[in-house]
Structure 1
């Protein structure tokens, strides 16, 4: 890292774009030079004497660093850093910070504003009323629509990009009653549990919101072929980056009325204006204005809240860099992008973990050989799916018990690293070694398996079948135990289980496991997660729902059928117990649970804790089976939910004996504690699965 020269009494700060954000005061002696704006050819001269440089979008390149011998810290007052040459700054030893997640609320709200402006034609009508007598002459301007516009509750919103901003937009639209579909990556053949295939989203959505980063694989993500898939009244809203939506193709789609309209906060060339984009025609040359288009000048981020966040992070970056506390007790501040020659925002370089022990392996050094499990407790663990729904809880439990293990490793995708950077940093800071690659990349998987005796798989439904080659590769690498992603409903409960659609991939995994010669297995059957069952089912309440805000419950069956539940936090406890008790878990299917309760008993607990009677309705088993058929007919992700809830209501979670006792004494959740947690989550508007970052943060 660059150090402030002993000859320089005070660090010198240079602000290249002070126009965008008021610069906060700093609690250390310094000198300050501010420029309202800076052109590219002015950067070199203006930063030549700087220790700290603050920029927004004006690029500072590694080539310029040689001309700035004192520069030690570059502070980027923005979320997006696509222009940054991270490797170049790492080699130069210059620290770089940015302002992660600082504009989530603002951009989400702006997406809604653009939507309403388009669908309700507020911008167009404002221009007409102020600039003509059309309203007076025609009495009504409703003919400006060919048909009455959709209300929000009639919209199907497709979200491209499911990071923090995409999640916020989803929450806002759902709060207004829209149905929301989250798109899988373009070209990916199998969608994750909470995603829909890219082309399917474009076909079904009446509103397409673009909220993903600009990268090589997202440039021109939406072009002529994609517009061909859309409906005539589909709206396209871009609050991401220019160039993701092909502007020429969009202009043509709008001119021909192929889609209903478009709104964008970003352009491929910025700042922009008439004649600089196919979307911004030059009327002085007789060019016709593009119809049904709203353009805002890259201001989606601009709110008081964002400015406050920017100022806080700028101040924190500068002061902690001067103090030398951006890294403390082995933990890196989340605002850091590059530090001490390392790209911290990814914590990886060219797919190699920077954790020193893992790095030694990747550079050709050897680690201890795999230790046979053979009934002994696991020592060296590799987790797949660590940041998923149940993976959060399992990983948290393992990390909490790290003193009982020698190594804890996590294998994750590059996408997860980018979208859940804080979670990954938290894991690494707590001692986990992180490997990056695809589940189908044999070389990367085998590299991660070196020195591992036990694999714990927590992959979601989209990754279930990919466990088959994982098992084979693990055995080849000397791994002795594989915990398959079996958490949930027993897939071999009764004879008809073999025919249930949600079970098919897990059954394939079990069949493959039986062909293995050396590797052992453990299956943990938990039944339904009470965390999810004890919540509202707003997409289709008939599938069972407990809505605290509305004080409404929809009970399955007659309400008296008992169901065996496991809290997700207890799943983690059971996995750790199984890891530590190799004899009990060797080649075993372990049946565990937290408690058993009927829907009526759950309702009674909600009424007791909320102090009021609830409105109650019922979904019979026959009706549940009808819903199941309906959802499968339209290829809905709720089809799997309907099948599982029908199985649970039929009694497919009940056992005479459970296996918790052979794993040792485990303090599990109760119906009281799970109802209390559900009430708290719903009142706070929180999701049922907290992030690893929050879960791993010391209290």
Structure 2
């Protein structure tokens, strides 16, 4: 009989389809780091969204054979330790493409059209006291039509962003990998993407290779009217460099749904009130009713497929 432990059930607010195989099910609303080992003792299958499963922990869980990640990113799991211990890992894929792409453009439009500062002007009574029929924004917006958006990463989500951008009449640049001296057909050299883009959108996964991928050098290349959007992972962007770029006017604004530590500490550099023109949302770009159901369905499919001996959506350890 399989013993299944769901470590952070609260993060999946949807009804799960019934499993067809014999099993014991234990779920916890949330699990703190010091509780993980005790809760997974004797488990054959673990389900996690963001609970960290370190190598030293996995080495001490001899019964564990399968981990199902409720989400796409697997940076919370030591994949080398999984391979060492014969533990298979599956994730969920393309389950929230629509909701994340909508969130990306929500941030773009809110920043581009100065919605937050204009709303603040209304709340403070500025328009009501004004003799003018309108209140001037901090700067006159550029039209999205004819502007250029640069995509960092080019998976399913990026392709959806590309189609939406084209619907707005935008030009799309797909970034070549950083450090390459020649661009593949359809790609643009890394440096040129930052030089030419009015908006840069981060859409790649967090790996050891992409950690700190965007930093001071990239912000220095960007136009003073350019925006950065990150709905991927916080660790991909050097947050201190981003704060400096905003404070010094190297770029015009940023919209981020992810931070390097979540929840962030009170003194997180991007939460400093002196950092201007930034919109931060609490890692919820993925959230919609459809995406939640997609997530639940794929989770159950992954569990069923593993037990049937035909595992699906396996996460491979990349060797470089």
| Larger of the two Rg values belongs to structure | 1
The answer to whether the Cα contact below 8 Å between 2:214 and 2:236 also exists between their aligned partners in 1 is yes
CA distance, structure 2, for counterparts of residue 214 and residue 311 of structure 1: 23
Post-superposition offset of 1:16: 0.5
Post-superposition offset of 1:119: 0.5
Task: Report SS of the residue matched to 1:302.
Answer: coil
Residue from 267, 282, 298 that aligns with 2:259? 267
CA distance, structure 1, for counterparts of residue 50 and residue 70 of structure 2: 8
CA distance, structure 2, for counterparts of residue 78 and residue 223 of structure 1: 26
Residue from 293, 298, 301 that aligns with 1:313? 298
Aligned to 1:161: 153
- 1:27 correspondence with 2:12: no
The answer to whether the Cα contact below 8 Å between 2:215 and 2:241 also exists between their aligned partners in 1 is yes
Aligned to 1:180: 172
Post-superposition offset of 1:73: 1.6
CA distance, structure 2, for counterparts of residue 320 and residue 45 of structure 1: 27
Per-residue deviation, residues 157-183 of structure 1 (Å, max 9, x unmatched): 111111221111111111111111111
The answer to whether the Cα contact below 8 Å between 1:50 and 1:70 also exists between their aligned partners in 2 is yes
Would the alpha carbon gap of residues 155 and 65 (structure 1) be closer, same or farther in structure 2, given more than 3 Å must change?
A: same
Q: Where does 1:428-447 land on structure 2 (aligned, <5 Å)?
A: none
- 1:323 correspondence with 2:316: no
Aligned to 1:5: none
Please give the TM-score of this superposition, normalised by the length of structure 1.
0.44
CA distance, structure 2, for counterparts of residue 189 and residue 66 of structure 1: 41
Aligned to 1:18: 9
CA distance, structure 1, for counterparts of residue 270 and residue 59 of structure 2: 40
Post-superposition offset of 1:294: 0.3
Task: Report SS of the residue matched to 1:144.
Answer: coil
Please give the TM-score of this superposition, normalised by the length of structure 2.
0.92
Aligned to 2:270: 279
CA distance, structure 2, for counterparts of residue 49 and residue 215 of structure 1: 30
Per-residue deviation, residues 324-377 of structure 1 (Å, max 9, x unmatched): 232xxxxxx3x122xxxxxxx36xx747xxxxxxxxxxxxxxxxxxxxxxxxxx
- 1:235 correspondence with 2:220: no
CA distance, structure 2, for counterparts of residue 152 and residue 84 of structure 1: 39
The answer to whether the Cα contact below 8 Å between 1:224 and 1:250 also exists between their aligned partners in 2 is yes
- 1:336 correspondence with 2:314: yes
Task: Report SS of the residue matched to 2:236.
Answer: coil
Consecutive unaligned residues of structure 2, counting only runs of 5 or more, are: none
Residue from 55, 59, 72 that aligns with 2:65? 72
Residue from 176, 187, 190 that aligns with 1:195? 187
CA distance, structure 2, for counterparts of residue 70 and residue 116 of structure 1: 49
The answer to whether the Cα contact below 8 Å between 2:55 and 2:80 also exists between their aligned partners in 1 is no
Consecutive unaligned residues of structure 1, counting only runs of 5 or more, are: 1-9, 282-287, 327-332, 338-344, 352-699
Task: Report SS of the residue matched to 2:164.
Answer: helix
**Higher helix fraction (1 or 2):** 1
CA distance, structure 1, for counterparts of residue 210 and residue 87 of structure 2: 29
